[in-house]
Structure 1
């Protein structure tokens, strides 16, 4: 396989068999905690998609694939294979690597109050840039910044449990305070013009090969 492989699917194309055939007991507990029907539906489809991708690498039937979660909900499996999952509106995506720690995030650029939301996630440097943008460019900047930060935090394994305004995104570079985080790269990939889509990969600045599959 390549250094990184990204799998993309449309939610509506996933046909689900009986959930008894692929959800383990821990996943059933998670499902039962979800009260919103749409959230339950998306959880089932995303787990089915993920396990169908992982079985290609692990050579196991999906009912034998057990996904474990850290206290911050970062998924992992044994034997070790680095992967991460993201979904937003119509798409589910999964990134897989045999070598590198990875995170992925996609976001549908829905209409939001970017000014108010930006107050929650922007560092001081980002806020200055945002404030000087034309109104029509502010939404794109907000979602670029959000997606980069979430992909990175998912990659390091803490998700949104770290204050987003403590991290600064400069194009596709990451800073924590005045320190550049050079061990990680942020890599955009093509998905849809209405989405922002980013992979975070811990590869210490090395070059790597990326392959994308639409399924």
Structure 2
């Protein structure tokens, strides 16, 4: 991605998703360029990973975050600084947050994919899973709501793994958008996926009227990957999702991604 690339417009209400299908390029010069963007703290965290694949994924994720944010604000990639919220959610640190004019982001990774969501003045979360992984069906009864567990168990066994990942990524995207992690019990909110292509969301507390502010999407960028997005646009207009594929510091291009499901906001 050229450093002199023009800034990308990010209108209010838009959500941009950047998909990085990571693979080790084996390019020493590119790897050196990646390392030049890391802070000493980043390097220390990188070196603590035991396996080479985990070190590479961490390196790529940090470079992706820095280089993509620099496509939206006049800040050099190496200049970005991040702080961690009280429940572990990373955010842009002041004073850069003011210069970024409400820019926010969220990241997720799974086998073969890193995805980054970017928006302005929107609470958002993103979660990705590789559908080839073994679904931990045994935990559904502990972490899913009773209605989710019942709907999952009612499916033929051949369909349960995919439904598990559909529910799990939606739940993860919601708690990440809320920025509170597992302080929000996973069984305190529910998704119903009975309507083909639809997502219904409810809160266990019937007196909590905030459920309608949250919008959800599920996208399938490849046959192996599922991505869920949660956002609260803060206005009545539907959010618009724009997708790009990127190889950090090398190239980027528009990416057509099928929306597998969405809540009733669109």
* Superposition TM-score, scaled by structure 2 size: 0.73
Confirm whether residue 112 of structure 1 aligns to residue 134 of structure 2.
Answer: yes
Provide the C-alpha distance between the structure 1 equivalents of 2:67 and 2:131, rounded to a whole number of angstroms.
28
Confirm whether residue 188 of structure 1 aligns to residue 218 of structure 2.
Answer: yes
Corresponding residue number in structure 1 for 2:178: 156
Corresponding residue number in structure 1 for 2:72: 57
Following TM superposition, by how much is the alpha carbon of 1:33 offset from its aligned partner in structure 2, in angstroms? Answer: 4.4
Structure having the larger proportion of residues in helix: 1
Contact 1:8 1:91 in 2 (8 A): yes
Q: Deviations over 1:8-43 (max 9, x none)?
A: 111116643355521224434433543444322211
Contact 1:16 1:45 in 2 (8 A): no
What SS does structure 2 have at the residue aligned with 1:129? helix
Provide the C-alpha distance between the structure 2 equivalents of 1:50 and 1:169, rounded to a whole number of angstroms.
30
* Structure 1 unaligned regions, length at least 5: none
Contact 2:91 2:104 in 1 (8 A): yes
Corresponding residue number in structure 2 for 1:85: 107
* Structure 2 unaligned regions, length at least 5: 1-9, 194-198, 247-266
Provide the C-alpha distance between the structure 1 equivalents of 2:134 and 2:35, rounded to a whole number of angstroms.
38
Provide the C-alpha distance between the structure 1 equivalents of 2:128 and 2:105, rounded to a whole number of angstroms.
15
Corresponding residue number in structure 1 for 2:18: 7
- Among 183, 201, 204, which residue is 1:174 paired with? 201
What SS does structure 1 have at the residue aligned with 2:23? helix
Could you list the runs of 4 or more consecutive aligned residues of structure 1 that deviate by over 4 angstroms after TM superposition?
none
Deviates more, 1:170-179 or 1:65-74: 170-179
Contact 1:6 1:212 in 2 (8 A): yes
CA-atom RMSD in angstroms: 2.1
Distance change >3 Å, CA 20–CA 130, structure 1 → 2: closer
Q: Matched residue pairs, number?
A: 215
Corresponding residue number in structure 1 for 2:125: 103
Q: Deviations over 1:60-90 (max 9, x none)?
A: 2111111211132211111331111111111
